Amino acid sequence: MTYARALDSQVIALDLHSLLEELDPSVWQAELTAAFRARLEEVEERVAALLEASKSHPQAELTGRLSELLEVLRANTPTLPPGVQVAELRADWMAFRSQLVDAYASLSFDLEAWSIHVPSLRPTNYARNLYHLANGVTALIFIELVLPPTGLVVMAALLAALAWTLELGRRRSKFLQRVLMALFERVIHPHERLRVNSATWYATALLVLALSSPPMVCALAVSILALADPAAAIVGRRWGRISLINGRSLEGSTTFFVIGSVTAFAVLSVFHGGLGVGSAVLVAAGASVLAALAELVSKRIDDNFTIPLSAAAGATLVLGMLGWI
């Protein structure tokens, strides 16, 4: 397969990404199933044509991914008649979507070998949102109430070491990969089966924070990530209408800033009341605006790494301007 054919694969992948976004459980509509089928048939025809055109220039991995995608489209596209119950129709489409998501994640991963990027899918996952929140609250408690600064560094280093050990281990051991994917099946994004997962990036961010920032700044960073990121994702998927970049929406990014600012102000008010209301408002806003920008522009680097570090940078900048550090 030539680079030109790989670019054709990118176009197909982008169209598939758009379709999968519309098939997300939070926005799926039964009355649009006929339109979904028509679009899927068009994608199927284009994949088949691309595979036929690529026979003279085979490239094993990418051609194999396209063949897998074609098989999913041909064998599993829902064909239930329109008279069935909506619940049954929805279940059939969601089961199909799950298979299509895996095929898309594999295709996007192999396109990277050609230096071709397509967006990662981040489907609605309330279990992941709760897991996100629980991790952030736990980190906040340890930062503010349990561990001294030195203890934070040691704990963060141990977590980061464990995360990267598992990350590297699952690439060498298919058994470990199966165990980890089964253990975290309900909270992982599809692309994390093939790439460094968000938990590893989060653990790495915790270590950088512990080494570079005072506990107050660390607390703000983990709190903003814990609440603002999932809130923005939920609002963006369900109500996002004004598109920005990297699959983000104005509604989602605005939600991130608002929730991040409120969260950061609450943390400062509860644990660092001596800062004063005015200073707390400025610090909270400074941390949240940089974190929201990081969430918006994060593309190749996971935002579980960029958001807390950007929030810490924003908080540190404002605290320095106010003379607190």
Instruction: Collapse the DSSP code of 125 into the 3-class scheme (helix H, G, I; strand E, B; otherwise coil) and give the result.
Output: coil
Token pair in block for residue 173: 């051991």
Compute how many other C-beta atoms are within 10 angstroms of the C-beta atom of residue 49: 12
Please report, in tens digits, the pLDDT of each residue of the chain (325 residues total).
Answer: 577 778 889 899 999 988 888 888 878 888 888 888 899 999 999 999 988 887 766 556 678 888 989 999 888 888 766 667 788 888 888 889 888 988 888 888 888 878 888 877 777 788 888 998 999 999 999 999 999 999 999 999 999 999 999 999 999 999 999 999 888 888 888 778 888 999 999 999 999 999 999 999 999 999 999 999 999 988 988 888 898 887 789 999 999 999 999 999 999 999 999 999 999 999 999 999 999 999 999 877 889 999 999 999 999 999 999 998 8
Instruction: Collapse the DSSP code of 136 into the 3-class scheme (helix H, G, I; strand E, B; otherwise coil) and give the result.
Output: helix
Rounded CA separation 98/190 (Å): 9
Total H helices, total E strands in the chain:
12, 0
Alpha helices in 246-325 (DSSP H): 250-271, 277-297, 303-322
Predicted local confidence at residue 282, as pLDDT: 97
Q: Which residues contact 94 (CB under 8 A, 6 or more apart)?
A: 25, 28
Predicted local confidence at residue 82, as pLDDT: 60
Which amino acid would we find at residue 196?
Answer: V
191-292-15-181 Cα dihedral, nearest 10 degrees: 10
Q: Which residues contact 212 (CB under 8 A, 6 or more apart)?
A: 312
- Say if residues 209 and 308 touch (Cβ distance below 8 Å): yes
Token pair in block for residue 102: 């895996």
Cα separations (Å) of 306 from 97, 114, 177, 224, 297? 29, 25, 26, 12, 10
Token pair in block for residue 264: 């950061």
Q: Give the domain 3-114 fold.
A: Four Helix Bundle (Hemerythrin (Met), subunit A) (1.20.120)
Compute how many other C-beta atoms are within 10 angstroms of the C-beta atom of residue 54: 19
Which amino acid would we find at residue 163?
Answer: A
**Residue ranges per domain, the chain?**
3-114, 126-322
- The string of DSSP letters for 227-263 reads HHHHHHHHHHHHH--SB-STT-BHHHHHHHHHHHHHH
Q: Whole-prediction pTM value?
A: 0.79
- Continuous segment of H or E residues that includes residue 71: helix 60-76
Which amino acid would we find at residue 50?
Answer: L
Q: Which residues contact 35 (CB under 8 A, 6 or more apart)?
A: none
